[in-house]
Amino acid sequence: MDTQKKKQVKKMKFKMAFIGFGVVGQGLAEILVEKKDWLQKEHGFEYDVVAISDMKHGSVYLPEGLDVNKVLDMVENGKSLDEYPQGETGWEPLKTIMESNADVIVEVTYTDMETGGPALEHVREALKAKKHVVSTNKGPVATHGRELVELASKNGVHYLFEGTVVSGTPVINLARSTLAGCDIKEIKGIVNGTTNYILSQMEEGMEYEDALAQAQELGYAEADPTGDVEGIDAQGKIQILSNMVMGGELKLNDVERDGITGITLDDVKEAKKEDMRWKLVGSTMKTDSGIKAKVGPEKLPLTHPLANVMGPTNALTFSTDLLGDVTIIGPGAGKKETGFSLLVDLLELNGNMEG
Ligand code: HSE
């Protein structure tokens, strides 16, 4: 056991407010409950969830901390959080951000990939109020990522978003920390779990609609799965990698895009006969004329490393000057997997609190 980890360090107890409490927020809440003692023992990480504000599940604020198990139970049983027996209810997201005693905002609301709103305003106002933000919300990072990181820094807080690309599989942190000494020339791979799952199921003979319905049931797909199957979710992730890792300033539509809706079961069967496989591939690369980025279906030979990445698993290859190619493969979507990415961001905040 790493003795450094065991070092007893006095840290602050985080007071967290969830803005949004859908699949991802609940995923984090479940992990926080399950690992509460372990997190305290291993990392000195302690927390209270003081507020939740969600369009569908209602909202509640209790400054001394909610019973997270009870909250999860209420949501599972279709009860509004407005019925929580203590605290104040009915608070809107911005009121929760500004007026609650939370020092960490977990922003997991709906994403608009074109404007970043309304999540953008949540993140901005939280940072202005000197509250840390951890978020899986792609919109604000894709559209205003660098501005928000600077705003956080100016206000002495952090804006962390590991889960915006490939859920909890460490991609942003890999590029930002571990590969920091390399010039990354290109990033290429599979960045959408839903479409990779659908294409994998179609290869087993399942109809497109049935595979999509399964992906929705399993919590891989966005609230509106059009974003997944038309390639918009992947386009946003490639935009984030282009801007936050490669130093570009791309708008969403600067990333060329095509989805998988044009691929039929016959196309998949035909490819199989040729020892090939359809994959939705995204890439961003540095060129003499700037960053070039795209997303689209590619028919790959089975010998290609990406061809064997199946189901909701994603993979990204970083082509670097000093290390050559570095590939990371891991979950690309899912309740716990994405909840985990927020835990990683919280532990990074916790690490930063060390004296
Ligand atoms: N809908 C997304 C996917 C979730 O399928 O990859 C993670 O962003």
Where do the CATH 3.40.50.720 domains begin and end in the chain?
A: 13-168+336-352
The pLDDT confidence band at residue 111, using thresholds 50, 70 and 90, is: confident
**Residues annotated catalytic, as ranges:** 237
The pLDDT confidence band at residue 223, using thresholds 50, 70 and 90, is: confident
Taking the centre of ligand 1 as the mean of its atom positions, its distance from the CA of residue 38, in whole angstroms, is 28
Q: Which amino acid is at 220?
A: Y
Given a cut of 50, whether residue 248 has pLDDT beyond it is: yes
Task: Measure the N-to-C terminal CA separation of the chain; round to a whole number of Å.
Answer: 22
Average pLDDT (58-85) is: 98
194 lines ligand 1 (CB under 6 A): yes
Given a cut of 60, whether residue 144 has pLDDT beyond it is: yes
Taking the centre of ligand 1 as the mean of its atom positions, its distance from the CA of residue 222, in whole angstroms, is 6
| Tens of pLDDT, residues 153-211 | 999 999 999 999 999 999 999 999 999 999 999 999 999 999 999 999 999 999 999 99
User: At 327, is the secondary structure helix, strand, or coil?
Assistant: strand
Helix (H) or strand (E) holding 313: strand 313-320
Report in angstroms the alpha-carbon separations of 342 from 97, 108, 137, 148, 279: 18, 10, 11, 18, 28
Given a cut of 70, whether residue 77 has pLDDT beyond it is: yes
Given a cut of 90, whether residue 276 has pLDDT beyond it is: yes
Please tell me the predicted confidence (pLDDT) of residue 10: 55
Q: Which CATH number fits domain 181-331: 1.10.3720.10, 3.20.20.150, 3.40.50.1000, 3.30.360.10?
A: 3.30.360.10
The pLDDT confidence band at residue 222, using thresholds 50, 70 and 90, is: confident
Given a cut of 90, whether residue 250 has pLDDT beyond it is: yes
**Residues of the chain above pLDDT 70, percent:** 96
Please tell me the predicted confidence (pLDDT) of residue 1: 44
Where do the CATH 3.30.360.10 domains begin and end in the chain?
A: 181-331
The answer to whether the beta carbons of residues 14 and 46 sit under 8 Å apart is yes
233 lines ligand 1 (CB under 6 A): yes
Lowest mean pLDDT among 48-52, 53-57, 89-93, 114-118: 114-118
Q: Which amino acid is at 214?
A: Q
- Closest atom of ligand 1 relative to the 227 alpha carbon: 1
- Gap between the Cα atoms of 183 and 275, Å rounded: 35
Burial code (b: 16+ CB inside 10 Å, e: under 16) for 162-199 equals: bbbbbbbbbbbbbbeeebeebebebbbbbbbbbbbbbb
Pocket test for ligand 1, best of 194, 241, 281, 338 (most atoms within 8 A of CB): 194
**Length, in residues, of the chain:** 355
Given a cut of 70, whether residue 8 has pLDDT beyond it is: no
Nearest CA to ligand 1 atom 4: 333
Taking the centre of ligand 1 as the mean of its atom positions, its distance from the CA of residue 332, in whole angstroms, is 6
220 lines ligand 1 (CB under 6 A): yes
Given a cut of 90, whether residue 7 has pLDDT beyond it is: no
Across the chain, mean pLDDT equals 94
Domain 13-168+336-352 has CATH 3.40.50.720: yes
Given a cut of 60, whether residue 228 has pLDDT beyond it is: yes
The pLDDT confidence band at residue 9, using thresholds 50, 70 and 90, is: low
